[in-house]
Amino acid sequence: MDSVGFIVNHMDDSGMIKVDSIGNFDKKNISHSFVRFDNGTLGKIYACSKGVFIDIGMKNRKEALEKVREGDIAYIVGPY
């Protein structure tokens, strides 16, 4: 793999996307990085003690599911 990636494993009611990592990295080095999903949807990473999340700017789960589905892959855009 050429870059760090993430796989969607859950979306909460607010549209926040919980992801698992693909590849090794330090969570503190990726927080606030930007990601792109294979379909072109952009998001921003938030890493905390509860895990790694991606915000794609949707208001709720229904809106988020119109852009991203569980199992979709995202990659960091730019340096990390």
Reported as a single tens digit per residue, the pLDDT across 50-71 is 899 999 999 999 999 999 999 9
5-11 and 17-22 strand pairing:
antiparallel
Reported as type and span, the H/E element at residue 36 is: strand 34-37
Largest CA distance in the chain: 33
CATH topology of domain 5-69: Elongation Factor Tu (Ef-tu); domain 3 (2.40.30)
4-43 per-position pLDDT tens digit: 799 999 999 999 999 999 987 777 788 889 999 999 999 9
Give the span between the Cα atoms of 79 and 60, in whole angstroms. 29
Signed CA dihedral, 15, 21, 22, 24: sign only: positive
pTM of the model: 0.88
* Residue 48 reports pLDDT greater than 90: no
Domain boundaries, the chain: 5-69
Percent of the chain with pLDDT over 90: 69
- pLDDT band of 49, cuts 50, 70, 90: confident
